[in-house]
């Protein structure tokens, strides 16, 4: 495959050219709907939907509440949230890298 900007050969699965840095057209990262591991109030459903749609999570929460307040929708909104909580998988969280510094109170040399 060749870069659409500079014409150099690049790896087939590349989203960006390693030489000029141009984004390759038609190459987009595939997004998955997951419950947010960082932006959550109850279970991360609204935060995950907001991340998937690239909008603010407050907007998603407000829309969810408004749709749940509609007459007859309170039970439906609650049931839909619980179903989404069960069906949508939780996003993976990267563990922080372990520090190589010794822990306070322990001896580094034995």
Under a CB-based contact definition with an 8 Å cutoff, are residues 61 and 68 in contact? no
Q: Is the pTM of this model over 0.75?
A: no
> At 64, phi and psi to the nearest 5?
-60, -45
CA distances from 102 to 74, 98, 99, 108 (A): 53, 11, 8, 6
Both structure tokens of 19: 């030489």
Both structure tokens of 74: 């309170």
> At 19, phi and psi to the nearest 5?
-90, -55
How many CB atoms within 10 Å of residue 48? 25
Quote the pLDDT of residue 110: 47
Under a CB-based contact definition with an 8 Å cutoff, are residues 81 and 64 in contact? yes
> At 23, phi and psi to the nearest 5?
-75, 135
Quote the pLDDT of residue 43: 87
Both structure tokens of 54: 């690239």
From first to last of the 110 residues of the chain, give the pLDDT tens digit: 777 778 888 777 777 777 888 777 655 557 788 888 888 888 889 999 998 888 998 999 998 888 888 766 667 778 888 898 999 888 887 655 555 555 555 555 54
């Amino acid at each position: 495959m060749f870069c659409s900007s500079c014409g150099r050969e690049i790896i087939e699965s590349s989203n960006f050219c390693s030489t000029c840095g141009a984004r390759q057209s038609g190459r987009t990262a595939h997004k998955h709907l997951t419950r947010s591991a960082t932006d959550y109030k109850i279970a991360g459903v609204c935060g995950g939907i907001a991340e998937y749609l690239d909008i603010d999570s407050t907007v998603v929460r407000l829309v969810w509440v408004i749709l749940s307040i509609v007459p007859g929708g309170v039970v439906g909104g609650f049931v839909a949230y619980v179903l989404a909580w069960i069906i949508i998988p939780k996003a993976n969280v990267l563990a922080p890298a372990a520090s190589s510094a010794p822990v306070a109170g322990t001896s580094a040399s034995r």
